[in-house]
Chain A
Amino acid sequence: MNEIWAGMLAAFRLIVTLDADLVEITLRSLQVSLSALVIACVIALPLGTWLAIRRFRFRRATIATLNALMGLPPVVVGLIVYLLLSRSGPFGVLGLLFTPTAMIIAQVIIITPLIASLTHQAMRELWAEYHDLLISLNTTSRQRIATLIWDGRRALLTGALAGFGRAIGEVGAIMIVGGNIDHATRVLTTAIALETGKGDFALALGLGFVLIALALLVNFAIHTLSRTEQEGTW
């Protein structure tokens, strides 16, 4: 119990004094995870929607694969991305290893299946509702996907936030591909792992509380933003 109090105290102190290192790694956490979220959404929302509206031969297999990929251990993703981006790997010439870009790539791979799968589930229902109208209006696939994504955006928001939560709290993959370099690739979760390693539980816990607060803040911010569109609730 003492450790938890000390952790809350440490978190409080860090936030109140706007500790420079804390601000830096918090912003980097946001930078990496929000970038990964945006990229993953650009891929996963159309993909999940497309899977909901299109009947093709390997559809079931594709969906099953997607669901299986949701459970991919981040550390495995990290290792694979490391091997790909390593100077001795196929994409080594890009020099991306141990940069925030590498961390974004790893997180995109981790959260895209999750968001695509949640999108598919949400869109299946909406498609059943819209199917007749959109077919009758002679819409193209692209128009169907755009309409479903726009009208289903509230359900998709939930999926995106789940993806963000997984990204911002992830440590195994970004530790390997980012390297936890101070002032370059250190983010909240890798800093927590580092402080735990040093036995400084109070600081680690403090950073943990900051992480939780951050996740809550982003959730509230996005929900508030989406609710201020004056379109009522459906």
Chain B
Amino acid sequence: MIRLLVFVLSLFSTMAAAETMKLAVTTSFHNSGLSDVLLPVILEDTGLEVQLLVVGTGQALRLGEAGDVDAILVHSRAAEEAFVAKGFAPYRREIMYNDFVFIGPQSDAAKIASAGDAADALTRIAETEAPFVSRGDESGTHKKELSLWSAAQLDPAQFGSWYKAVGAGMGASLNTASGLDAYILADRASWLNFANKGTLALLFSGDPALFNQYAYLPIDPARHPHVKAEAQRTLEDWLTSPKAEALINGYRIEGTSLFVFNAEG
């Protein structure tokens, strides 16, 4: 038993020594794989080890409110502005955007591939009552989907059983859609990195209404004195630097570029 204890204790001594900060990010950002490219470079350039908490937008905001992370990187403008208004973060800084795409079965029963815009695509799905999987988890993607329904003058609360709110992350929801041959709204990055595509295909994209703005929100040190203000600034400076611009704009999956850097200098 003592040998076991010594072994366990020796495992504790493997903690890293670099300066760290905690950043809550959305599942969709992490699934894009961009963080795997950025984090090592950030560590190299600034000596800062950014620890990612990959959660839904709702949980990311809660973690920020409680002061459990030093900053958040999310994509839900209305929620972010409310967050700033309540004084949890002094400001929000836009970093980059990517876009959402409509995924669905290759047979495309609702014929959204030929839709004029995002609202038209959703109207066609609702008219054919083709199975549609919704994140249903208050995430940025879910909120985006709801705003698109509302733009199409439709109310998901009135929908029948073809509308399935699964209350899960992007990957789990894509798995469900793949299993059900259902339509789903996903961010392009998650879709491209998703390995279990099955018979699903990208059917509609390109409407500016589908653009997805990411913003960086440092938690206000005046409210939570323990947050690492200096690390927040270091990360923000790096994320808005020309080096970040080059890496973000240059990130490609299967030859497709995913993110457009748009931070103002």
Contact = CB atoms under 8 A, between A and B. Distances in A.
- Is A in direct contact with B (CB under 8 Å) within the complex? yes
Interface of A: 27-28, 30-31, 34-35, 38, 86-89, 92, 95, 97-98, 100, 179-184, 194, 196-202
Contacts of B49: 183
Contacts of A27: 11, 14
A89 B63 CA distance: 12
Nearest to B65: A88
Contact of B171 (A92, A97, A100, A197): A197
A197 B224 contact: no
Given A182-B51, A196-B172, 4 more contacts: A30-B11, A88-B67, A182-B52, A198-B193
B4 A180 contact: no
B16 A34 contact: no
Closest 6 A-B residue pairs measured CB to CB?
A197-B171, A199-B196, A87-B67, A31-B11, A88-B66, A179-B53
Contacts of B16: 183-184
A197 B67 contact: no
Contact of B224 (A30, A87, A97): A87
Contacts of B172: 196-197
A173 B5 CA distance: 24
Contacts of B1: 38
Contacts of A30: 11
Given A87-B67, A97-B68, A180-B54, A198 B194 contact: yes
A87 B66 contact: yes
A38 B8 contact: yes
A198 B68 contact: no
Contacts of B170: 197
A229 B65 CA distance: 55
A28 B194 CA distance: 27
Contacts of B195: 198-202
Contacts of B68: 86-88, 97-98
Contacts of B178: 199
Contact of B8 (A35, A180, A197, A201): A35
Q: Which of A27, A38, A197, A202 has the most CB of B within 10 A?
A: A197
A37 to B, nearest CB: 9
Interface residues of B, number: 37
A38 B8 CA distance: 9
A181 B53 contact: yes
A30 B196 CA distance: 30
B228 to A, nearest CB: 11
Nearest to B1: A38
Nearest to A190: B54
A94 to B, nearest CB: 11
B31 interface: yes
Interface in B15-51: 16, 20, 22, 27, 31, 49, 51
Contacts of A86: 66-68
B174 interface: yes
Contact of B51 (A98, A194, A196, A202): A98
Nearest to A101: B12
Contact of A196 (B11, B31, B171, B224): B171
Q: Which of A35, A98, A179 has the most CB of B within 10 A?
A: A179
A38 B1 CA distance: 9
Contact of A95 (B55, B171, B226): B226
B20 to A, nearest CB: 8
A15 B43 CA distance: 28
Nearest to B39: A182
Contacts of A89: 66
A196 B54 contact: no
Contacts of B197: 199
Contacts of B105: none
A184 B39 CA distance: 14
B169 interface: yes
A40 to B, nearest CB: 13
B263 to A, nearest CB: 25
Contacts of A179: 22, 51, 53, 55
Contacts of B51: 98, 179, 181-184
B196 A38 contact: no
B98 interface: no
Nearest to A97: B68
